[in-house]
Amino acid sequence: MSTHTPQTTAHNHSPSDGALLNVQHLHKSFGGNHAVNDVSFSLQKGELLALIGPNGAGKSTTFNLLNGQLAPESGSIMLDGASLLGRKPHELWRMGVSRTFQMAQTFGSLTVAENVQMALLSADGLSLAPWPRATHHRRADALQLLAQVQLDTQANRPCNALAYGDVKRLELAMALANEPRLLLMDEPTAGMAPDERHALMALTRNLVNQRGVAVLFTEHSMDVVFEHADRVLVMARGALIAQGTPAQVQADGHVQAVYFGSGKTFGVSRTAQPKSAETSAVATAKEASSLLHVQGLNAWYGAAHVVFDAQLKVQRGEVVALIGRNGAGKSSTLKAIMGLMPRRTGSVVFAGHDISNAEPHHAARLGLGYVPEDRRIFTDLTVLENLQLGVQAARRLAPGSRVMAADAASNPQALAPWSLEQIFALFPNLADMQQRPASHMSGGEQQMLTVARTLMGNPLMVLLDEPSEGVAPVIVEQMAEMILALKRQGVSVLLSEQNTHFAQWVSDRSYALDRGVLTASD
């Protein structure tokens, strides 16, 4: 671990003497929005500094300012005494500033070694040379870098054949190709399983200790921050609101209010609330019929078989979770149910209708809502316009159906249509930005908008893909409360999720997925 002296939690911070990176009074606005407002901090050699905060806090803008992708309106950025202002990303790369991205940036068609060799070509200033041969360039150095991230045994594999956690490690090896002094890591563990997250950050810590690299990373996985960061900076609405050790920041009341929430979604709950038990009559009524019944479902991407003989049921007003690591087949299962997979077999019955071979819009008209992981909002429209586009008529199940009977026993109000007032009560943040273009929203705000737009279609059931991925803990809690509110209104939810704390909080039952196979349920 590094031996720096942690700063106590405070709103202001003067950079320490001898810091590798000094940032002073940084400011950047977009229109009237102060995305980064008078931000100052320092970073020492051999230090892991976490930058956290709610979605829209200004973290990504700060990263883009440090990496030369944006120019600040005022302030200074000094790396070991040299100003970084006015320099392009490729110039900063040559100065020893490396970056990894939330979505790993690798060459899928190249081998693992060739990816690192491409980074070495760039570090040597040869990436624009005529006909560079990555296959032969500094291969021994590439293998040495791969050994440092424990990928040397996969050097000759195509990058697109790697598991997701290995792709993240490959991107780290590529970032090390220029022998960086400063490493910027943008949500390095996004989309990874818990064991993969901690393995990657432990590997980063080892490299930091060996090389003396300074690391600044953004992260929404609080278990990663609390275990691996030396210090933590917290941003909200463009400004630094707190900083200190992980323990100091975790105990800060202001940070708890604007970012952590209760802590239930990352396993340090201060106000955990047990789920209320259903009456036996309601449970019996639900068991009598399934709103969704899937049998023998198989699905393919081209020649790749990705869902294997899936069987599951979801009752009216029930929340069911599909839990598994990245690449386990969770999203593919939801897409196959919705009819979005190009090739599928098996039986899918929804609300008494066979939708095994139906197009997605037919399933949607029957009341099956779908919230994709990649959000897919209309970025050139306002929040209100996105919501208005999602409006569909209120749902009515066939009179006398077993599903209707189960619904009547559990919640006779369940089919009432959603209104804008109800949506804004459920998502207060959206109420404050109705006229904002969706392109000016943070990732977490876009996630809320996607869910809200789906609810405006008055679905009987929602397929919810990775709702907690890449959003702040307080937003995750809002998502959880939203799911529980849907359940109270009789709407069913089938969600895919890696965050087991979140899944256990909101779900009645769960299925475990591994490599496209449902392996267990409870």
pLDDT score of 132: 57
Greatest Cα pair distance in the chain: 77
- Own/partner pairs for 39-43, CB < 8 Å, 24+ apart? 39/75, 39/235, 39/238, 39/239, 39/240, 40/12, 40/13, 40/14, 40/15, 40/75, 40/240, 41/13, 41/15, 41/233, 41/240, 41/243, 42/13, 42/15, 42/16, 43/19, 43/182, 43/214, 43/216
Query: What are 223-259's pLDDT values in tens digits?
Result: 889 999 999 999 998 999 999 999 999 899 989 888 8
The model's confidence at residue 342, banded by pLDDT at 50, 70 and 90, is confident
CA distance 486 to 513: 24
Contact indicator for 405, 386 with CB cutoff of 8 Å: no
pLDDT per position as a tens digit, 11-68: 344 445 578 999 999 999 987 778 899 999 999 999 999 999 887 788 889 999 999 9
List the domains of the chain with CATH numbers.
Answer: 1-96+180-261 (3.40.50.300), 109-179 (no CATH), 287-521 (3.40.50.300)
pLDDT at 134 (0 to 100): 65
Q: Cβ(498)–Cβ(469) under 8 Å? A: yes
The DSSP secondary-structure symbol of 328 reads S
Residue pair 413/489 in contact (Cβ under 8 Å)? The answer is: yes
Q: Place 266 in a pLDDT band, splitting at 50, 70 and 90.
A: low
Amino acid identity for residue 64 in this structure: N
Give the position of tokens 């009074």. Answer: 25
Q: What is the share, in percent, of the chain residues with pLDDT greater than 90? A: 38
* Residue in the block written with tokens 């899936």: 310
What is the sign, positive or negative, of the torsion defined by CA atoms of 28, 33, 37, 42?
A: negative
Dihedral angle sign, alpha carbons of residues 456, 458, 463, 469: positive
Give the pTM: 0.68
